[in-house]
A and B are shown apart, each in its own frame.
Chain A
Amino acid sequence: MYRFTVGFAFAKVLLIGVAIAAGAPPPEQGTADALKDQIQKLQDQLEHLQLRVAELESGKTNLPSPAVPALPAAGEPAPVRAAGWSPAEPITVARSGSTYVDISFDVMANVGWSTAQNDEVRTGHHAPYERGFSLRSAELALEGAVDPYFKALSTIAFALDRDGETVVEVEEAYAQTTSLPWNLQIKAGQFYAPFGRQNTQHAHEWAFVDQPIVLNRFFGPDGLRQPGAQLSWLVPMPFFTELALGVFNNRNTSFVAGSAHAHEDGAEQHGYSPLHGGEPVERKLRGPGDLVLVPRLCTSFDLSDTQTLLGGISAAFGPNDSGPHADTQIYGLDLYWKWRPERAEAGFPFVSFQTEGLYRRYEAAQRIGDTTELSAETLHDWGVYGQLLWGFKRRWVAGLRAEFASGDDAGFDSPVRADRFRLSPNLTFYPTEYSKLRLQYNYDNRHGAGTDHSVWAQLEFMLGAHAAHKF
């Protein structure tokens, strides 16, 4: 993560954005005569066009369909724009198909209050701070075709920390192949590992303002995401089935935490792991076994014309930092079901249910702790969440999420392994597809810490290219 001052970072991005969008030289400084000439020419053209329109309308003929391109051998010619730029012409930003890159900018601004504070209960980097106003995600997304072989997507997220300083984060920056044979696809760069359902979603796609507890505990506040590569295969079957295998660097909460010790309670242990209590060991890359491997299988069925089910199993295997030979294994099951009637208006009404269950086996080696020496042991953790959404009326969605996470007894008593139960009802209003207002309450019970109550309001707004929805 890099820190810049707010002004500098934004100004730079904006300048780059404008340069990309305009893609044309500034208007030439002509004399008044030249401008007059130009206006006269435009007027002539306009009259000509008006005549032509009148002709066509009176003839009541269909405008001649542009000769049907029977054999677009070299692809359909892209619409040609007039050369140069005139002041009368609007600057078009991110009009689909007329720029090389689709740009969008998505902001989530929050206000809230909680009985807890200082990261005691919030889960996820993009979740609102417990008290007061916060802006934890202003995400610039760039997407487009690189060439006939790759498409690329990059999301750069800005966030303001408690001091109002800007934090910049490369959420994702990857290329994906578009023309591999045998139903294969390769993705490479920085991106979310294909584990479960929510891990691959950006914060603004979430149905709640924060990350599920179990994902936060197992994968950290940014999720399971590192530079890596992924091969996936669409299995040639009558129904949707996809197999994926990702390989990533090992920096992650459940693997080699590195400097990213941030946890749900933010309790930095001054050099000691908040998870296993020992001094973390550096795990150098000696071979492929020191990387994190993420296999996933997912499949989907239409239960009827109005109901669809999507399910998957995932795993993540890699080294951890409790000792030079210790490993972690994580397994997950996910299920998503959605009902929507055939006459839904703008996507409403609907009912959906999403659940994920994860189990982690963490081999903790013999460790040197804060005060004691901890013996070798295996830590077993698990967690589950289920969320029900009801789009009861056009623009309105009511949601309820229930979750629980737990770990077995171990030599080190870790707060990020203790029992935790959370119940979160929320209500979201979508004025359009480009904005939303969300109100959420969290009842949060942590074993040993007691019960906390939090209320958050969130406003999301988006500029630029229309983002398509995935199932």
Chain B
Amino acid sequence: MNRQIILITASALVTICAHAKLNVVATTADLAAIARAIGGEEIEVTALAKPSEDPHFVTPKPSYIAKLNRADALIEGGAELELGWLPPLLDAARNPKLALGALGRIQASSAVNLLEVPTTLDRSRGDIHALGNPHFMTDPLNAKAVAELITARFAALAPEKAETFKLNLTQFNAHLDSKLEQWEKLLRPFAGRRVVAYHNTWPYFARRFDLKIDLFLEPKPGIPPTPAHLSDVIARMKAENIKVVLVEPYQNRKTAERVAAETGAVVVDFCQFPGGLKGTEGGYIELLDYLVTTLAKAFETTERQ
């Protein structure tokens, strides 16, 4: 009788352990996509922010507290991207696995070097992130660094599956490297081109592909476009023959369209997060593929005009 109970308990435990997948929560869809690429079947991934949602202003739904409470790991962008909504959720979630410094707290920004770190903090210049521009995942090499960090942490959290994670990382890197070569080739003819964006989301993308995305519809970060600023932008676009305006799903497309109409430019839908635009649902590499091909196409069409 006793032996039977022990046996049943033991087999139940084994079953539980065998099926216990790492429960991972990612703040945004790009980080979730990388986690899926590394974790594969061995993990459950939930993204909090919707891919079409502004990552600075996510509704802090109480349901996220329940999700964070059960998580084994949290992947966040860091660098103050989630500052406006994540901290109270984490307070309420009461999950020591996600405490700062814990293995399960994965801050992607700690794996990359941030651009645009302000030397002085002054909000009269707009809502500037004190730790640097947090949209670093738009550079594929940063994504590789983040994937490496995620792999190391996953391996530490589930050592028995470490080999799988490492194998997945190798595959992800190989796929990304080959793609990166194609992307660079596609955009090389347009090196040095200046592009207008609604918000300063793309400095990492611009650095990687040798573009200049430094003219914005927002007069200052977080401040909505004003007529005076837009007319300045339009004048510069005309003077420098700038033909592409990037706009993200949650940004005011009408403003971008108005500027484009005045300058003969095209509005190109851009997005930081897989699933934010149709055709980008597949994952991180599919998203970058979409961005690069769409942009290259936009350069080509405007050139022919």
Contacts and interface: CB of A to CB of B under 8 A. Distances in A.
Interface of A: 62-63, 65-66, 68-72, 74-76, 90, 92-93, 95-97, 148, 151, 176, 178-180, 183-185, 234, 236-240, 242, 300-302, 305, 308, 310, 338, 340, 342-347, 394-395, 432-434, 466, 468-471
A151 to B, nearest CB: 7
A50 to B, nearest CB: 15
A95 B66 contact: no
A344 B62 contact: no
Given A66-B111, A236-B69, A343-B53, A90 B120 contact: yes
A180 B95 CA distance: 9
B85 A469 contact: yes
A344 B57 contact: yes
Interface stretch (B14-22, B86-94, B283-291): B86-94
Given A92-B121, A183-B69, A234-B69, A302 B63 contact: yes
A236 B68 CA distance: 12
Interface in B55-107: 56-57, 59-63, 65-66, 69, 80, 83-88, 91-94, 96, 99-103, 107
Interface of B: 50, 52-54, 56-57, 59-63, 65-66, 69, 80, 83-88, 91-94, 96, 99-103, 107, 110-113, 119-121, 123, 127, 130-131, 139, 141-142, 144-145, 148-149, 152-153, 155-156, 222-224, 249-252
B86 A468 contact: yes
Contacts of B112: 63, 65
Top-9 shortest CB links A-B: A75-B101, A300-B62, A62-B141, A65-B145, A240-B62, A70-B152, A347-B57, A63-B113, A90-B120
A187 to B, nearest CB: 11
Contacts of B107: 76
Given A96-B80, A151-B91, A302-B61, A71 B224 contact: no
Contacts of A300: 61-63
B66 A469 contact: no
14 contacts: A65-B112, A65-B113, A71-B156, A92-B121, A179-B96, A234-B66, A234-B94, A300-B63, A342-B52, A345-B251, A346-B54, A346-B222, A347-B54, A394-B252
A343 B130 CA distance: 26
Contacts of A308: 59, 61-63
Contacts of B91: 151, 176, 178
Contact of B62 (A184, A238, A466, A471): A471
B268 to A, nearest CB: 17
B250 A345 contact: yes
Contacts of A238: 66
Nearest to B66: A240
A234 B93 CA distance: 8
Given A65-B112, A70-B152, A151-B91, A432 B61 contact: no
B110 A76 contact: yes
Contact of B224 (A66, A184, A394): A394
A399 to B, nearest CB: 18
A394 B113 CA distance: 33
Contacts of B131: 96-97
Given A65-B111, A96-B130, A394-B224, A180 B148 contact: no
B148 A185 contact: no
A346 B56 contact: yes
Contacts of B152: 68-71
Contacts of A302: 61, 63
B65 A240 contact: yes
Contact of A342 (B53, B99, B123, B222): B53
B121 A183 contact: no
Contacts of A338: 59
Contact of B57 (A97, A346, A434): A346
Given A70-B156, A468-B87, A468-B88, A65 B59 contact: no
Contacts of A466: 80, 83-84
Nearest to B51: A342
Nearest to B93: A234
Contact of A434 (B101, B120, B123, B149): B123
Contacts of A178: 91, 96, 99
Nearest to A62: B141
Contacts of A433: 84, 127, 222
A180 B99 CA distance: 12
B127 A432 contact: yes
A468 B103 contact: no
Given A68-B152, A346-B222, A468-B88, A95 B130 contact: yes
Given A240-B62, A469-B60, A344 B250 contact: yes
Contacts of A90: 119-121
A86 B255 CA distance: 45
B148 A65 contact: yes
A151 B53 CA distance: 30
B94 A184 contact: yes
Contacts of A151: 91
A305 B120 CA distance: 39
Given A69-B110, A343-B52, A343-B53, A239 B123 contact: no
Given A68-B148, A75-B102, A468-B87, 10 more contacts: A63-B112, A65-B148, A72-B103, A76-B107, A90-B121, A93-B121, A236-B69, A240-B62, A434-B123, A468-B88
B119 A310 contact: no
Nearest to A241: B66
A62 B62 contact: no
